[in-house]
Structure 1
Amino acid sequence: MKERFKIKRWSLRTRIFMSMILVTLIASFLIAIVAIYQFKKEARDYHQERLERKEIAITEHMNYVLSTTTYPMTAENLPLIFRERIHELANIHGMEINIYDLNGHLLKSSKAAFSVDTINNTISPTILKVLRSTAEKRYVDHKSYGGKTYRSAYSYIKDNKFKPLGILNLPYIEDDGYYKKETNNFMWRFVQVYSFMLFISIIIAYFLSSYITKSIKEISERIKETRLNEENAKIDMGDSPQEISLLVDAYNNLVDDLDESATKLAQSEREQAWREMAKQVAHEIKNPLTPMRLTVQSFQRKFDPEAPNIRQKLDEYSKTLIQQIDTMSAVASAFSSFASMPAQQNETLNVVKIVQLALEIFNEPYITFHSDEPYIITRMDRTQLIRIITNLVKNATQAIEENEPNPMVGVRVYRDCDKAMISVKDNGKGITIENKNRIFEPKFTTKTSGMGLGLGIIKNIVENYHGTITFESEQGQGTTFLVQLPITRPEGNEMETNDKTI
């Protein structure tokens, strides 16, 4: 069962390769079997035909002797008729000759007198019965012993009137030495030829299996690289087999359908995002509208121009309205900033100088700055870089608990290979595990105020300049945000020029 499972897991290329080798081996094995069978059949046919030829020649010769003898042609005179001639016949035809009477008793043999005792003096009753019952009055007995095969032909000796006088027996030893030698020679040549053919078959099978599976492997690699939100190239293999062409067409149709689905999905996601954003903006705008309405209604109901503190109340009402208007303005600005892509006004900037400039607006004494070197150059918009630092430092200060005895926000700028690294670290309350995967989502916030668009805007800016932003946080210990921006190597006196202008 394990071997069967392993075979099922073979690659198509391995299966084709092994199948072709197996077919070659089976073909060579079958050819060898057929060749050996053919040699053996030819040997049997040869001995059978040779025995028949010898028997016909000896019978004709014996008929001639019978026709020329002076003895009466009777069964009793057969030993006298062939007393001398039987040896002559045996020598001429190269065969042992035995003559039996009609009852199967030996009358005369061409063997020497001292070896007559090794001859069967009688014919078995079974052979006599078969000989008498056959229409041809002829029977060939087959025997094997001592590693040799013997044929023994039995037929009737007849007079000129076709009356049986006795039984002629011709023992014949099948000498297969020649055919065995030919078989061995053939098998040796066969092994040599088919060993070479097997070697050629292995090479052909290897390249043929590689050729057959090359197209399938290429299609498989393309399918692995296919992504929903990426541009997927179609396959063009030119003139390829019909099965491969059908597979290529199916893949190309899949790419078309995938592109169409990706377009529809992207459009659907954009529409959904804008719907959610519109709901959020509407919600944020409605929040200040309610107190504004209540303030105006209260002012309308309680307004008394003669009241002694009417100007103070008017100032209070005005401040409340202005505060809510500012809130709506902040909402509109945040939404506008998130919706618009940052303009890529690429400037050659010294990141160290810009970060120091961005930190000047903060008055908190626990905000510290450190840089490993005075110059780290990148190309991006100065305003956007200030915006990144301002937002991260502001979030860091807001994350620190009010009762924290030793608040700390550390900003560090350093170089890491070809990246400018900006680290903003605080010892605030940290980010919970459930919020870590949502920290860059639009409109997600853990604060009681704001729309939660700040980090989403920062991520959008950083990635737009081919950078990355990541963070590490431990709840109750603090958070560290890390911004990576590509470094630009200044040419000529560009360093001095930027140092003067920034």
Structure 2
Amino acid sequence: MSNKSYKFALTKMNIQLNFTALYLYLRYSALFLLFLASILYFFWLPPTQNINLNEIQSLKNHIHSQIKKTEKEIASFLPQLKKQGIIALQAKEFFATYPYFVFQNGRLKYWTDYHIVPEYAEVKGNYQANFRRLSQGDFIVCKSNIITEEDSIEIFSLLPLTRNYKINNQYLQSGFQKDVFLYQNYKIGGFQKNTTLNIYSPKNEFLFGIISTGTLANASFLQFLLISICVSVAWLLIGIEIYKIQKKYERKFFYLLSWFFIGNLVVFYTPIAFIFKLVLLLFSLFFLLIYLLKNYRKTWTWQKLQQMKGCFYCERTWLPVFLVLLISVVIGYETLVQQIFLIENINLDINKNLDFSLLTLSGFLLFGFSSVVFFLAWNLLLRPILSLYERHLKKLTLDSGIFWILNVLFLVFIFFFGKYGFWLGGYLLASLWILAYQLPKHLYKLNYTTSIYLFVVASWASVAGVYALQEYGYQKSKDEKRNFATRILPENDLPTEQNLAEVIKNIQKDSTLKQALTDTAQNFKRWGEMIKKQYLQNNFNKYETNVLIFDAKNGNIKTSSTDAEGDLSVYQKNYKNILFTTDNPNIWFIDKGGVNVLKRYITFIDIKVKNQMIVQILFDLKLKRTSLNYVFPELLVEKNYQPNKQAKNYSYALYEDSVLIYNSGDFNYDKDFSIQLFKQENLFLKGITHKKYEHLAVAGGLKKRVVVSALALNWNHYFSNFAFFFLGLVLLIFIILGIITLWRGQYGQNAKFSTRIQIYLNIAFFLPLFTVSLTTWSILQNNYKEDFEKTFTLQTESLARNIAPFLQNFKEGKNDKEIFTQQLQNIAQYAESDINVFDETGRLLTSSRPAIFENEILSKYINPKALRAIKNQRNQQVVLSENAGNLLYQSVYAPIKYISGDKVQLNGIVSIPFFEAQTNLQTKSLSILSTILNIFTGIFLVFLILSYFASQVLTLPLRLITQQIKTTTFQNYSDALHWDTKDEIGVFVDEYNKMLKKLDNSKENLARNQKENAWREIAQQVAHEIKNPLTPMKLSLQMMQRRMEDQGDTVRNLFERSVETLLNQVEILDDIASSFSAFAKMPVPLSERFEISQTLKNTSNLYTHQENLTLKINVKQGKFFIRGDEKLLGRIFVNLIKNAIEAMPDDRNPEISIDLNTETEGLILITFKDNGMGISEEIGDKIFTPNFTIEHAGGRIWFESVEDEGTSFFIELPLVE
């Protein structure tokens, strides 16, 4: 090698090394920039909000369309209303999208909604469409008029924009109407300088303006720009790296990955709900993985990976890479599932939620789709692992020690390493079994093993879903129990004390109240209710409040109340105790309420006028009991103080110095809860399970402890959720497989017979099971619903009869409204129900829970459907589904009748809301549904295995026949199969055995034919070889014979006899050669269907007129078809008759009888019998020459002979249809 070449090579190598270093630098720079962008995105970029003009325009279009729609609906019944008046509405219900209200001369006459009924003063005015802000929310009011000579009828329709509640909780949520405002980051205001933010009616009437609640921060643009630059540069560097390898599939994947990140980055910056962002992320990831699954075998990376097989260094290098990728996939899946379960208002626990709302279905679809994406990523990683480490994985068999060691290690990891131990251990364990059976290879074959693979993954995903749900539910349950315990723990409620201190100051400053209380003629009870309504309405909803007013001079009570314990001195003696003092001298906290009250506040408020005390106001606040059977009180509690839904199922106990002082619920703390359990630290941290209950304790001051208990979840609970997830995923799998099958259109042709058997068995079993289960569930649910409604209506009718006399006394003026209300509350307390009483026109008279109407949760007007059904249609009761905010319940309405003489008049209408109806019905339905799911899933899993074994049993004969057919040839074929039953398989086996028999016959026929062909060739050759010398020999002898005629008698006599003898022998040899030649020229027998009896008759008829021959023909009646050569068989019959005649001795006349019978089923027997000399044993074996063969027809021939008596030839042939 020259010095110049060496320098060139060295320079080239340096350039390559420099480029390699450059690419490494680009690669690590890209990774650093991506990491920097992630840090900036998560920790530096603030959330932003801004007004979207497209949203504003969409809002305008929506409002315009709804106003036009409302005006059209109202206009549809205006002519009838104008013609008949208000009676038209009472006679017939006119549908409208939004509630409307009809006022006649300023008085409400008709309404279509029971939630909001506006006062006339709130909506009156001269307009067609106008924005009105009512106390219940913001509305667009559309107005229509009918002016007559006598009346002015006005129709107002309310289009809701916002809904405002004085109390906000899980049922009552103030805010924008979601069908109008897609986003909640706006406020409704007045006219805006930016006219694009103003909303007008279709007739250009100004309605309202839009104000954004947030603006883009000054630094946000720079921050977003910096992040974009980091991501763009990083992506550019990665693109250069990809371009270096110059492979098109890697480039396409890089482009898709670019759109994936850029698109999702843009989506996550848009102000849409998190659930939609999650959906878009999953869909984009799904299509990215589909591209990889479809093309990964074509990539340069896969090809390089295939080249690494058997390379120990490569296998050792790539193993940690694959493990990291597998762990990343499972962590990503766990994060996705957790985020789905944390989405508000999505509850996928089938044991607690039967509300298959759009949001719940969306949550389940998200879970299912994330599982599909997870499976695609999982399978994508398992394929290269299976390919690269195939020789090692073949060792992972059931009898392999390393296989079971890995199983034990993963199980230990699952049970002893907590949450991530379960996820990672379970994931690796499932991967181990899948790789051991090489299931990823079957994914694209679409056979039954494919479905087993998919069901295994669905089972693991379902277990993972149940585990995530249990973890989330466990943490949520623990927090709820802790909050519940803290709420009832007899400890100072500092927020309540602060609010009470503020109320005391405001009351002492209220001059109007002081002036009213100075007047001794005032109704002090009414003023007590006013104080309660004005000062104790909003911040004290978790307490039962009572306001008492005492005379400052003598301490006598001025407000008549059955709840009062006595006069002022009694309260001062009992509660003004140093043990009950708080930071405020006017507030006393009583934590020794006994069995009825856990937490109680007493306040003493001095009301002074000119430094002289006139009255003393006492507030008595008692913590509400959570065991009440009412739901209306929960509507009146703010979200922060509202107990969770499961609190009704709690049992709880209060211990003071290890002594049980109070308990409630089903759990028996006296008998089943030992004081020794308080020594367990987990009782206060995580909770413990004891006596089939889960217990959690919270410690307070002065050795007070509260224990909250709830029934522990059993295996049925977990299996129900597993069944729900599993069946949902299986349904999703079937849908995906169905789409793939329709798309490819080849599944029916490619599927194995055993696979089709298993699929058909599953379908045939599960369709009826599914139908029966669904029908059973529906019937039972309807029965439960009917039973509930019947119970409720009977209870309502009974209460209506009890209320009737009190209502009549009130209307007659015998009792005032306060007495009637007190009577109604007593009945409600006894019946453990809330009761509302309306007059005959539908206005509220009173209620056992007036705060519901005072807080404007419901209007003071009856449900118009109930009024129409009872007043106009004369129904005795009506059951309606109603709602208060998000709370759904059943209300039963019944008439309260008054008998006047012989007339029965409608005196009022009673309404009883049954909140537990929906809950009880849902509980029953959930119990039935979970049982059906458990049974269905259990049977599904068992039948999945049984169908596999059933298909194996059903296809066993086919596999046996297949194995034997593989080894069956003309030279070697198997013995016949044996199948005892006469079913379809038995028929198939019989046909197979017949086929073997026919194959044997065919083999013999073929051998015979080969022999005959050989004989023909030999005969032809022999005839040729014999005839060649015979001709000159014959000519020579004839020439000698002619020349001897010229000789003398002596010579002629000497040679003539010899020449004659030689000529005769030559003639004999010539005949023999001719016979050989004739045999060689015999045609190949044909195989055709013909009727044998007619052929036999035609052949016999040739000899019927022969002299001295007696021929008897006995042919059975009928037609007998065989397959063979008709002409050849005819010649055989002729030969048999001819030979019988020629072999007859001279002293006998030939007698030949021919018979045709069917002695054996499927066979015919033809007999030729003569009275000749018979056939000797010496020539018996030589009697059949090839000229007499009938095997071509599948038959056989034989003879029986007696010397000097005759011979019988028998021909047996098979019949054909």
**Given the two structures, how large is their TM-score scaled by the length of structure 1?**
0.50
Give the TM-score taking structure 2 as reference length. Answer: 0.22
Q: Which has the larger radius of gyration?
A: 1
Structure with the larger RCO, 1 or 2 (CA within 8 Å, 6+ apart): 1
